[in-house]
Chains A and B, each alone.
Chain A
Amino acid sequence: MADDRGDRRDSGDREGAATSPAGERRRPAAVRQAIRSELATDASDAARAARRSPRRSPDGLPAPVVELDHVWLSFDIPVLEDVSLVAREGETVAIVGESGTGKSTILKLILRLLVPDRGAVRIDGEDITSLTFDEALMVRQKMGMVFQGAALFDSMTVFENVAYPLREHTDLGEDEIAERVREKLQFVDLDADRVMEQMPAELSGGMRKRVGVARGMANNPEIMLYDEPTSGLDPLTTATITKLIMKLQRELGVTSIVVSHDIRSVFRMSSKVALLNEHHIVFFGTPEEMAGSDDRYIMDFLGGA
């Protein structure tokens, strides 16, 4: 896949072992402290949801949270060409398309694990393409990522997995961490007492995905990124995960970007859909607009899906 090539990867993804550029690893005490206080003060989902007042842009619409502005990216071959999309506050934007069209690459650009050749990637209005590693780290704290295979650390228990970002980036005590982990596991409808001490290998695919969501939201991020959240799951578990993504959006106002092949789930949960074809976005609009489109490729894509 194109996104497995790695010349311009930012912090740790260059193929081979020399993963991160040297200049991007320093994390001064001031930056660490800023991250810690930011995360530690965010006591609960309810408090966060209540505190968040909807921001509006001058056009009266919710403020853009994630923006790709005429982004170009190539490795040895073109990956993305003139790609633009916007996710406004509280929206769920789905990115669909055939395999190998660069969908997951978009998530890596948003996380600033990749830097585009041209164009801007803006998070809360701030262009992140030229940030240092420390600044990128601050921005990354606003995001939670759920991987296709959940990517749970298999040497750690479920508790340790969900607690990982809290231990790594906050000064919270063990009691507070335990409370936060329990809260997140309950949010994703898992029996905290039962699963906390289990190892990821002991969990079913759906449970692993839910623990992945709990870990992704442990830091109370503003933005959730999902890479194929329902792939490889049975229809019932797919519905559960879809409902969970909708619950996060509804109850916490989280802005979500979902890369998926599952058109049924996409239509159910998304406010907007972006369709990628041949490195371009060929459609960006609401699911209703997509369903009503008479474009040949869109009709073929939806028919095939």
Chain B
Amino acid sequence: MPELLTRLNETAKARVLTLQDYFVLAGNSVRFMFARPFYAQDAVQQMDEIGVKSLGIVLLTGLFTGMVLALQSSVQLKTFGATIYIGNLVSASMIRELGPVLAGLMVAGRVGSGIAAQLGSMRVTEQIDALNTLGTDPIKKLVTPRVVAALVMVPVLTIINDFIGIIGGNIIASFVVGVPTSQYWHTVWQQIANDGFTARFVPNDFIQGLTKPLVFGAIISITACYFGLGTTGGTEGVGQATTRTVVTSSILILIVDYFITQLLLSVLTYGG
């Protein structure tokens, strides 16, 4: 029994330390955004890597998600003779939930794994040690630019994902269900307006739809850097780091999504 308690104690301690390290890394990466030297060129390069190169996968995801949403909702709405409201359903689902979550998951899979593999390889080939000996802080040089790039690009990708998803819904609504395009876009806007505004002109849906990807961007980049920099055990360790990154950031995205939704629904005045 005492042995079991000791083991539990050790495990708990290790977990708390891991969490502490994670938040120290997050704190330092944010702090270094405001401390010289700035690695702006690295941040721009990462924006290309995270944003531009993820565009294809996000476009495809958004388009087909919007199309399937329209198709599924048309079946349900047809029973009530309410297919003209397809726009409302697609708009609310894409902007509030599916756009941010799917863009987040796609970026976690494509970019998170890439960052973890790159930093993991740098760790096992002593390139991180080399940075240290050359007087460069690896967090400042490697982590901060990636966090900045993710904070900028994941919301941008989400906006594109939302828009393409709504266009996908438009295609199905117009060509399969028979809802006129003008009617579809009218209901899309109607849904946004019905969900209310903050400070009179900022739609609540936009606040929800942009807060989430901002947080997801931070989760993906910091998790990837955390596991990447912590890689041990050679090439096998690099593989493990990438797997852990994708699994952890995907789970965190889904869990955090619930809590952000809960928080924003209680803070924002819906339908007002």
Contacts and interface: CB of A to CB of B under 8 A. Distances in A.
Contact of A141 (B128, B135, B143): B135
A158 to B, nearest CB: 14
A12 B131 contact: yes
Interface of A, secondary structure class, is loop
A32 B37 CA distance: 10
A105 B90 CA distance: 60
A18 interface: yes
Interface of B, secondary structure class, is helix
Interface string A134-174: 00010011010101110111100000000011001100000
- Give chain A's interface residue range (CB within 8 Å of chain B): 35 or more
Contacts of A113: 129, 132-133
B85 interface: no
A79 interface: no
B212 interface: no
Contacts of B35: 25-26
Given A22-B28, A149-B125, A151-B125, A17 B132 contact: no
A19 interface: yes
A25 B127 contact: no
Contact of A13 (B20, B36, B132, B226): B132
B255 interface: no
Contact of B25 (A13, A17, A111): A17
Contacts of B20: 18
Interface in A28-61: 32, 35
B130 A17 contact: no
Interface string B209-236: 0000000000000000111111010000
Nearest to B119: A17
A4 interface: yes
A20 interface: yes
B134 A165 contact: yes
B133 A143 contact: yes
Nearest to B230: A16
A256 interface: no
B21 to A, nearest CB: 4
A20 B139 contact: yes
Contacts of A4: 232
B130 A140 contact: no
B96 interface: no
B86 to A, nearest CB: 45
Contacts of A193: none
B21 A164 contact: no
A17 B135 contact: no
B18 A16 contact: yes
Contacts of A145: 130, 133
A11 interface: yes
Given A16-B229, A19-B139, A22-B28, A154 B127 contact: yes
B10 interface: no
Nearest to B226: A17
Contacts of A117: none
B137 interface: yes
9 contacts: A12-B131, A16-B21, A19-B138, A20-B138, A111-B133, A143-B133, A145-B130, A152-B130, A168-B136
Interface of A: 4, 11-20, 22, 25-27, 32, 35, 111, 113, 137, 140-141, 143, 145, 147-149, 151-154, 164-165, 168-169, 215
Given A113-B129, A147-B130, A169-B135, 7 more contacts: A17-B228, A17-B230, A18-B22, A19-B229, A25-B137, A111-B133, A152-B127
Interface of B: 18, 20-22, 24-25, 28, 32, 35-37, 121-122, 125-140, 143, 225-230, 232
Q: What 6 pairs between A and B have smallest CB-CB spacing?
A: A18-B21, A151-B126, A17-B226, A18-B24, A17-B229, A151-B130
